[in-house]
Structure 1
Amino acid sequence: MSTEITAHYADGVERTRLTRSPHGRLEFLRTQEILRRTLPKNAKVLDVGGAMGVHAEWLAQDGHRVHLIDPVPDHVEAAAQLPGVTAAIGDARQLDTEDNSVDVVLLFGPLYHLTDPRDRQTAIGEAKRVLRTGGQVFAAGISRYLTLMELGTNGGITQINESDVDEVVRTGRYNEHAGFVETHFHTADELAQELGGFSDITVFGVEGPAWPTLDATNNDEHIDGAIRAARLVETDPHLIHASAHLLARARLT
């Protein structure tokens, strides 16, 4: 991981990202919902790039055995303090985990921080290696249309950054124009194609079409309706990219 990315996360930004706003809480609740539909009981979960353990914590509370891997030392230190969670410094491209040894792999970060497609394939190959037959991988991507929707809603598209927004929509290359580090933004088809070594691949739109309104109004009263809207169109090919984040689920057979 680059020093730029390490520095970005070293300030604790991930500690509150999914709790400090209605949009963040919507993403968190929808991610929980999608995972809980198919997770087996008492699963052995490898949370790769799991940051400070925002998902590892509730997974452990649900009875799963969770080991978290992250390249940022502060993240690992924080996650290791969570009940039922173990944590270690590591890289998605070279997991220190035995073959065929886990039931679930979470990739909630590696596939957008790894901007080289060869690195993404290496990380996916590592997830496949450590999964048991029948195991599941959940891989997150950022929607290629995120900054278009975000900046279009808050009036942030200007003559200065319009070409940057256009580039990420066309190519997936995000160049830090809206305050985040350099990343790769996916389409749903692209994310599914990258998981082509798995079967039963489904890509979900996480937040659905109402998340820009939550950002604009900062109103928790709208979250329930936003969740219901997201659920209704979560795999609709016409609306899946209205979500800020995509979540792919696939199985190793």
Structure 2
Amino acid sequence: MSEPTTEIVTFYEERYSEAARLDGRPQARLERLRTLELLRELLPAAPARVLDVGGGPGAYARELMADGHQVRLIDLVPAHVAQARAGTPAIDAAVGDARKLPEPDGAWDATLLLGPVYHLQDRADRVRAVREAIRVTRRGGPVAVAAISRFAGPVDFASTGRFDDRMLAESRRLIIDGNNIVGGGFTHAYFHRVPELLAECAEAGLSDVTLHGVEGPAWSAAEAAVHGPAAEVVFGAALQLARLYSSERDLAAASCHLLVTGTAR
């Protein structure tokens, strides 16, 4: 494996637990709820064959299996694959790289690319991953591509009371350069601006594209209010706004995560 790939695997196996992430803080809860809602709107009626690329320990795969879909999970991290296989229900899972999927052309009714793109810092690799997702999806089948907004980190630090001079400097840098600096609490990653994400998906060949802001523009308010008396009221409002403004392109970058949905051609 290359040095970035090795570091990403080490990060998730030794320094970070992905398994509990989506059940924690308000941002993650919004991410989970809205991603599932968007996937359920996007996917064909069950039973459909769904390939979950970068599916981690299987949080979304198990939900989709409960909906009646046949899901196969591919992830770069062996520990994630082991967790997916060991959970209940067990998931058909294998170690693999989004840039070279071990699947035949057009084998799946839908393909989800919910993690790999924001761990690829080279543009050509990101386009290749989306192109691979399209390749393994039947013609006209849906494809979903997730990314992290360029502005998510600074807003997160501000809303949780962690913004300092170092983060101010990082915020200035991120305006120009979307590459994450490894060692600040996260691994190799790339944070997108909306136009470049759409351009990469178009170059890969994704058609009928819709852009969604996953958590909506008020996720940071929910983070700031989490320990106060209005926590659930603010969370409920943030969820309603996330639904209302989901495809408003002018507001998309205010979300932590972006989700592009389209069809394979």
By the TM > 0.5 criterion, same fold?
yes
1:251 aligns with 2:263: yes
1:125 pairs with one of 124, 128, 131:
131
* TM-score, with structure 1 as normaliser: 0.94
Task: Report the TM-score when normalising by structure 2.
Answer: 0.90
Q: Given the alignment, which residue of 41, 50, 53 partners 2:55?
A: 50
| Contact 2:211–2:249 under 8 Å retained in 1 | no
Matches within 5 A, 1:69-84: 69-81=74-86, 82-83=88-89
Contact 1:65 1:84 in 2 (8 A): no
Query: C-alpha distance in 2, partners of 1:160/1:25?
Result: 28
Matched, 1:213 2:216: no
Determine the C-alpha separation between the residues in 1 that align with 2:90 and 2:176: 43
Q: Distance in 2 between matches of 1:238 and 1:96?
A: 37
Question: Match of 2:37, as an amino acid?
Answer: E
Determine the C-alpha separation between the residues in 2 that align with 1:62 and 1:84: 15
Matches for 1:111-150 after TM superposition, within 5 Å: 111-150=117-156
8 Å contact from structure 1 (residues 164, 175) kept in 2: no
* Structure 1 contact 211–243 (Cα < 8 Å) conserved: yes
Contact 2:221 2:238 in 1 (8 A): no
Gaps of at least 5 residues in structure 2 are: none
- Indicate which of 33, 40, 59 corresponds to 1:36: 40
- Provide the residue aligned with 1:203 in structure 2: 211
Counterpart CA distance in 2 for 1:224 and 1:154 is 18
State whether structure 2 residue 105 is matched by structure 1 residue 99.
yes
Distance 2:207 2:118 in 1: 21
Identity fraction in percent: 42
2:71 corresponds to 1:59 = no
**Which 5+ residue runs of structure 1 have no aligned equivalent?**
none
| Corresponding residue SS for 2:162 | coil
Q: Secondary structure at the match of 2:240?
A: helix
State the distance in 2 between where 1:103 and 1:58 align: 17
In 2: Cα distance, 1:224 partner to 1:157 partner? 25
| Mapped contact 2:120–2:188 kept (Cα < 8 A) | no
Letter in 2 for 1:211: W
What's the counterpart of residue 241 of structure 1? 253
Q: Deviations over 1:193-215 (max 9, x none)?
A: 11111211011000011111222
Cα distance in 2 for partners of 1:66, 1:176 equals 32
| Residue equivalent to 2:5 | 2
- Give the Cα separation in 1 of the matches to 2:238 and 2:20: 20
The answer on whether the counterparts of 1:144 and 1:185 sit within 8 Å (CA) in structure 2 is yes
Task: Provide the aligned C-alpha RMSD in A.
Answer: 1.6
> Which structure: greater strand fraction?
1
Q: Give the total of aligned pairs.
A: 253
State the Cα deviation string for residues 93-130 of structure 1 (Å, max 9, x = none): 11110111101111111111011111112211211211
After TM superposition, give the deviation of residue 29 of structure 1 in Å. Answer: 0.3
The residue number in structure 2 matching 1:186 is 192
* CA distances 1:47-83 after superposition (whole Å, capped 9, x unpaired): 1111000100100000111000011111101111342
Displacement of 1:149 in angstroms is: 1.0
